[in-house]
Amino acid sequence: MPTPTSHAKLLQWVEEIVTLCRPDAVQWCDGSQDEYDQMIQLAVAAGLATPLDAATRPNSYLFRSDPSDVARVENRTYIASRNPEDAGPTNNWIDPETLKATMRGLYAGCMAGRTLFVIPFSMGPVGSPIAKIGVEITDSPYVVVNMHIMTRVGGKVLEVLGTDGEFVPCLHSVGKPLAPGQADNGVWPCAPLDSKYISHFPEERMIWAYGSGYGGNALLGKKCLALRIASAQARDEGWLAEHMLILKLTNPLGAVRFVAAAFPSACGKTNLAMLVPTIAGWKVETVGDDIAWMKFGKDGQLYAINPEAGFFGVAPGTSSKSNPNAMSAIARNTIFTNVALTSANDIWWEGIGYEPPAGEVIDWKGKSWERKEVAAHANARFTAPAHQCPAIAAEWQDPAGVPISAILFGGRRPGTVPLVHQALSWQHGVFLGSIVGSEVTAAALDVQAGTVRRDPFAMLPFCGYNMGDYFAHWLRIGETAGAQLPQIFFVNWFRKAADGRWLWPGYGENSRVLRWIFEQCEGTGKFVLTPLGIMPTDDALDAPASVSAADMAELLKVDREGWLAEIADVRSRHYPKFGDKLPPALLQELDALQARLSA
């Protein structure tokens, strides 16, 4: 096919990779439905994709990956900055030239027997001043179809790129060359674990991935570009690339506020992004469920886009109770990975809200399910177009972005942390973001039960540079001339009573907390000042019927002893990791909190 661009740097790079990887053919992706269908048929013919029942779940397919290739491989994910200090203590560092030499050896001839696909893609609405362009080279049709859903792919991207525009080169291979006459024959192609590399070169704005065909290891627009590389770009250019949902909140009078929120995994992030409110007259709509890019507008406000075009969601636990909008979004045109297959050729997983139907169920490993183990892998996924979500906001593709009024942090904390509190200032809010964590409630291999696993800003696996410098960047954002900064809040839906029951029902009832946050942004909320910050009065949240007055008091209590222990943990186990990169302002906030609690 003719080359659809005259961008000299892009053409030179593609030629270099073709020479190195030696594919049998080269195909430039145009983002069309015909191309999507072609990739699906290639996967079906290779025995890698199973068509689902067309009447029940039209144009949807099930893939099963190799058991060694089921999730992000954090221990094989690298930040290859020139100076190891620039990667920081929370990242894996390898010297960039050493890493390139290793990976060039792996890439040599790695696409033999396969087609090399060139995927020009936009993270964010094509042409948006907040968007960025990437080009992913891959030998995986699975990656092509997922990138079709998760990003904007095709000729319009190349038009915006022009002849000399900036792009992030993203190189990916499954690492499984085919000999003449050889085929995958239903075996998921990937390399052994010790040959997998997910490598980021932040100074060069470049991503190289090898050996995995799954998720964030292979869809390089997602965590790799949208967070690890983009966070370094954001630091240098004065904006924010964050692991945050974006939602639109409308009150009964029609007033609108947009909220961004960062939570560690398993803390209900996607459920909040698609929440169905339980309070009359209020509406929640989805702008994005995972990533937010935020830049200052001319009016001094932070405007956010969702750089993705789809949802790459965790399937287990998703149900019509926990997330009805997600269930509607995946009713058609969806890729499922590592879920179970029913005898009716439909999908099933643990927590879907109903028992597995009668008949044989095939588990995620392709075996008849004997109910001794889970039918769907714990990290099983769905990939669905965002526009299929019934709660998608009209503004979700606005190239200018949406103005952010509030930023939420949170974690899974059975005790200590109240249901909601508001930061006293931007600096105090950055402090709250820096100590985000979730409590480990069951014994793990190397973590004692009850220990708080810190995940600052929910960015621990995704920050592309030293996290101490990342904290400093957030503090600098607060000093931007003319900035109209969002209010910052900390929420915790996961408080438990002494007898182990949940104190707060969560799900749609979280809209009551969102309403108070909305009112605080409007200046109409009822609040009190506490040592922790600004908190609702006892009657500000209009507690649901299932929450007693005593439970509400517990949810909004300032646990002085618990917080003093929290401070001690931050001082001894968390902040020291960042050494002299830790901004002094955060220690000042820690000292101030201790003083307020001790007064």
| Paired residues of 529 in beta bridges | 534
Question: Does position 569 have pLDDT exceeding 90, yes or no?
Answer: yes
pLDDT digits (tens, 9 = 90+) for 571-581: 999 999 999 99
DSSP 8-class letter at 81 = -
Q: What's the average model confidence in pLDDT over 88-92?
A: 97
Q: How many whole angstroms separate alpha carbon 222 and alpha carbon 123?
A: 9
Band the pLDDT of 582: cuts 50, 70, 90.
Answer: very high
pLDDT in tens, 22-73: 999 999 999 999 999 999 999 999 999 999 999 999 999 999 999 999 999 9
- Given a cut of 80, whether residue 596 has pLDDT beyond it is yes
Q: Could you write out the DSSP letters of every residue in 384-438?
A: EEGGG-TTB-TTTT-TT-EEEEEEEEE---SSSS-SEEE-SSHHHHHHHHHT-EE
Q: Are 115 and 26 in contact (CB under 8 A)?
A: yes
**Spatial separation of the C-alpha atoms in residues 414 and 294, rounded to whole Å:** 31
pLDDT tier for residue 439 given thresholds of 50, 70 and 90:
confident
What average pLDDT does this structure show over 268-296? 96
* pLDDT score at 450: 64
Q: Which of 346-355, 358-367, 437-446, 489-498 has the lowest mean pLDDT?
A: 437-446
Higher pLDDT, 268 or 170: 170
Which amino acid makes up residue 505?
A: P
* 140 phi and psi angles, rounded to 5 deg: -120, 115
- Whether the predicted pLDDT of 290 surpasses 60: yes
| Nearest C-alpha neighbor of 22 from the set 84, 90, 113 | 113
Residue 177 has pLDDT above 90, yes or no: yes
- Per-residue pLDDT at 444: 40
Q: Select the CATH number that applies to the domain covering 8-30+73-237 from these four: 3.20.20.60, 3.40.449.10, 3.40.640.10, 3.40.1170.60.
A: 3.40.449.10
Check pLDDT > 60 for residue 503: yes
pLDDT at residue 54, as a whole number: 97
Q: Look at residue 446 and tell me whether its pLDDT is greater than 50.
A: no
**pLDDT attached to residue 2:** 78
> To 10 degrees, what angle do helices 8-21 and 96-107 make?
60
For the cut 60, the answer to whether the pLDDT of residue 230 exceeds it is yes
Cross-strand bridge partners of residue 484: 301
Q: What is residue 448's predicted lDDT score, i.e. its pLDDT?
A: 57
pLDDT of residue 443: 36
Inter-residue contact 441 to 414 (CB < 8 Å): yes
- Structure-block tokens of residue 566: 């929290």
Q: Is the pLDDT of residue 415 over 50?
A: yes
Q: How far is CA 286 from the centre of its chain?
A: 15
Confidence at residue 59, expressed as pLDDT on a 0 to 100 scale: 98
| Distance, CA of 500 to CA of 497 (rounded, Å) | 5
pLDDT band at 250 (very low <50, low <70, confident <90, very high): very high
Candidates 3.30.70.360, 3.30.565.10, 3.40.50.300, 3.90.228.20; CATH matching 242-306+396-598: 3.90.228.20
Spatial CB neighbours of 205, under 8 Å, sequence gap ≥ 6: 166, 168, 169, 229, 232, 233
Confidence of residue 20 (pLDDT cuts 50, 70, 90): very high
Confidence band of 449 (pLDDT split at 50, 70, 90): low
Tokens standing for residue 364: 């995620």
Average pLDDT over all residues of the chain = 96
State the pLDDT at residue 98: 98
Q: Where are the domains of the chain?
A: 8-30+73-237, 48-63+310-390, 242-306+396-598
3-state secondary structure of 260: strand
Q: Please state, in angstroms and rounded to a whole number, the distance separating the CA atoms of residues 168 and 228.
A: 12
Q: Is 48-63+310-390 a domain of CATH 3.10.450.50?
A: no
Q: Count, in order, helices (H) and strands (E) of the chain.
A: 16, 28
Report the C-alpha gap between 592 and 6 in whole angstroms: 58
Q: What is the pLDDT of residues 326-338, one digit of tens each?
A: 999 999 999 999 9
Sequence letter at residue 237: E
Name the DSSP letter for residue 578: G
pLDDT of residue 1: 64
pLDDT band at 447 (very low <50, low <70, confident <90, very high): very low
- Which has the higher per-residue pLDDT, 490 or 448? 490
Indicate which residues carry an active-site annotation: 267
Question: Taking phi first (over 0 means left), then psi (-120 to 50 degrees means alpha), and beta for anything else, what does residue 539 get?
Answer: alpha
**Predicted confidence (pLDDT) at residue 445 exceeds the cutoff of 60:** no
